[in-house]
Amino acid sequence: MEYEQRMGDGRRIMMAKEDIITDIENGSNEAAEKGKIPALTDDDMDHLLNIFLDPSRMATVDVGDEVVMSTDEGYAVFSGNYSEMGGAGIPMDATSANIAMERVMGADCVTYAWVDYNFKPSKAVITQLQQEIESILLNTISPCSYGAMPNLGSYYKPDGPFDNVGDLMAEGKIMEALEVYKQVAEDATEDMVWVTGKLAKMGLDNLNIDTAGAAGDGDFLAALKATEILKKTIPNFSVEVGMANEFVLGIDGTMEYDSMRLAGMYPHDQVVACEKAGVDIYGPVCNTNTRKSTPWNVARAIAFTKECSNVANIPVHPNMGMGVGGVPMVENPTLDAVTKASKAMVEIANVDGI
């Protein structure tokens, strides 16, 4: 007998039970080997197998086991109509879409983000962002979060003032590249603090530093330093950090936060650094391999996230969107794969939210 499953790119496939078991074991072992963490237990793998053998259109947790859900520009599910944002393309402004998210979809928070989701260009339109945040806050009850990425790449020419670090390294200008990289990280930190400070004046409840570490250890360092400053300067303000990768790439390789080397960190190390910076909610990421099955990808993601939950003292909200958390890399991830991966995160990885 064969069971309907998905590949990491969303394709529907049929798999024998024995092949699903093998993929779950291999995915778990892959995470254990790379992260130097425990593999999933036999009970964990049996539980995961049962989730994937369930023929239901969607999976769900038992009543009482529900978790809080934070969202990454969730209102775009209504108003978005482009590229990876997906969305229904309904002509709604951010306030109306957030009202629908809260009152119709039952969202646990409302959100806002500038269209390109980066801090640096947000500076140029800060008064518009303040007006949008104010409008959302006046018309909704749930906590409001502003999301953006450090995105050190946006500081390179022609968009920014700095020479491209990658190009400098390719030319053999290693020391010059490292100096530029450090300055870019410092500028990004300043911009994150400045933008957030302006929005906090409007009553913003939470900052979602999204895709942290996408441009390497300097990118992650900027997120940590900005968090530390914001927690000290804005009363009763929360910060959520969602990662870009399960592994922090060492562009510099020597950067540290509180004596912890950032390059090479996996989720169970990343969350410790985030805690020290004052982060309130940590979002681990495990990247999806499109050439592997969803059982393989989810098992790998669960192994990483379970260890993260074991060491964390703050809420863990794994990123479960397109191409992360075992979810297929496709613009509109399928309901079966998303819900099975989410159920496994709650029941096996013991996460606090999604």
Mean pLDDT of 234-250: 96
Please report whether residue 11 resides in a domain: yes
- Domain count within the chain: 1
The model's confidence at residue 85, banded by pLDDT at 50, 70 and 90, is: low
Mean pLDDT of 303-324: 96
Please report whether residue 352 resides in a domain: no
Q: What residues make up the domain containing 112?
A: 2-347
Please report whether residue 354 resides in a domain: no
The pLDDT mean for the chain works out to 95
Number of other CB atoms surrounding residue 210 within 10 Å: 25
pTM above 0.85, yes or no: yes
Evaluate if residue 214 carries a pLDDT over 90: yes
Evaluate if residue 63 carries a pLDDT over 60: yes
The model's confidence at residue 82, banded by pLDDT at 50, 70 and 90, is: low
- 209, 145 contact by CB (below 8 A): no
Please report whether residue 267 resides in a domain: yes
* CA-closest candidate to residue 280, choices 68, 80, 51: 68
Burial 167-190 (b: 16+ CB within 10 A, else e): ebbeeeeeeebbebbeebbebbbe
Evaluate if residue 70 carries a pLDDT over 80: yes
The domain that contains 235 carries what CATH number?
A: 3.20.20
Q: Tens digit of pLDDT for each residue in 327-342? A: 999 888 899 999 999 9
CA distance 343 to 111: 24
Chain CA centroid to CA 123, Å = 23
The model's confidence at residue 78, banded by pLDDT at 50, 70 and 90, is: confident
Instruction: Provide the pLDDT for residue 79.
Output: 83
Q: Percent of the chain, pLDDT > 90?
A: 90
Q: Tens digit of pLDDT for each residue in 159-180? A: 999 999 999 999 999 999 999 9
Burial 236-272 (b: 16+ CB within 10 A, else e): ebbbbbbbbbbbbbbbbeebebeeebbbebbbbbbbb
